[in-house]
Structures are given as C-alpha cells and as structure tokens.
Homo-oligomer: A and B are copies of this chain.
C-alpha cells in the first residue's frame, strides 16, 4: 500500500466534498492497520479494480448523510431519508469513486469502480488487507475514510 495511492484516493474524495458540495475539509490524523473498522450509522462502499484493487468505505452519522443529500438537492433541509434521498446518496458514492478514478489515473493507476453499496446500521467491516482510516472534519460534521488496497 503506497502513500501516493492513498493520497490519490483522499484527494479524489476531498475534491468531491469541496468541489461538488462546497464543504470545508480538514483531514485528521490517519490510523494504520485497522481491522475491523466501525461502519458508522451510514456508510457507502466503493470497490475499485484495475492496476490496484481498492475498497473505499466512507462512514458517517445519519445527520451527516442528511447534510450531504441536502447539499446534493441544492441546500434542502432533509428530515427523513426517502428512496430519492438514498438514490442521491448512492450517486454521491459514484461521484467519490469517479473522483478517485481521476486522481489514481493521473498517478498511472487506471481503475474501474463498482456500483456503490450503502450500508445502513452499525456494523463492523473486515478485509483481508488492513485498513488505513482518516477522519475528514467538515465543520460540525465528520466522515471517516477507510481505505484498503491490494497491489
């Protein structure tokens, strides 16, 4: 697991949060060799295959999920997440995956992404490869970024 691949994925994710959703991202300290990782109340899983294989998981609270969906709907206040909201959140996963594709491709690692899977409910994720976990602080919200790569 190379630092530049990790940075590519973090930059791809950050570009979406900052560029598409106008959020302020403050990355925190990474934690290495985490396994299992906690899902958070809501998480979105994007897999990547190609020159490298990656599992990317973004874990967050229900409130943060609503905030993201609200921003995708142009600044709406979301009280309940309905089917349209979940569909938008899945599209958010696609945006992040596409953002990571671009960054990784620029680094010489062409990848394709799987359709995002949303996990709702507190659970634990494990992978054969250890995770590196980085918190992204977004003003009063937080997203945990979990990355597991395989060369």
Stretch in A2-10, A11-19, A115-123, A137-145 with 4+ CB within 8 Å of B: A115-123
Contact B91 A116 (CB under 8 A): no
Is A49 close to B, CB under 8 A?
Answer: yes
Contact A53 B126 (CB under 8 A): no
Other-chain contact of A128, B49, B87, B120, B123 (Cβ < 8 Å): B87
Is A64 close to B, CB under 8 A?
Answer: no
Contact A114 B36 (CB under 8 A): no
Q: Which residue of B has the minimal Cβ distance to A91?
A: B128
Q: Interface range on chain A: under 10, 10 to 19, 20 to 34, or 35 or more?
A: 35 or more
User: Would A53 and B90 be within 8 Å (CB), given that A120-B36, A123-B120, A124-B119 are in contact?
Assistant: no
Contact B115 A129 (CB under 8 A): yes
**28 pairs of residues in contact across A and B, judged by CB atoms under 8 Å:** A39-B119, A47-B47, A47-B114, A48-B49, A48-B114, A49-B49, A49-B50, A49-B112, A49-B113, A49-B114, A50-B112, A53-B112, A53-B114, A53-B115, A55-B114, A87-B128, A115-B127, A115-B150, A117-B126, A118-B127, A119-B119, A120-B123, A120-B125, A120-B126, A121-B121, A121-B123, A122-B123, A123-B123
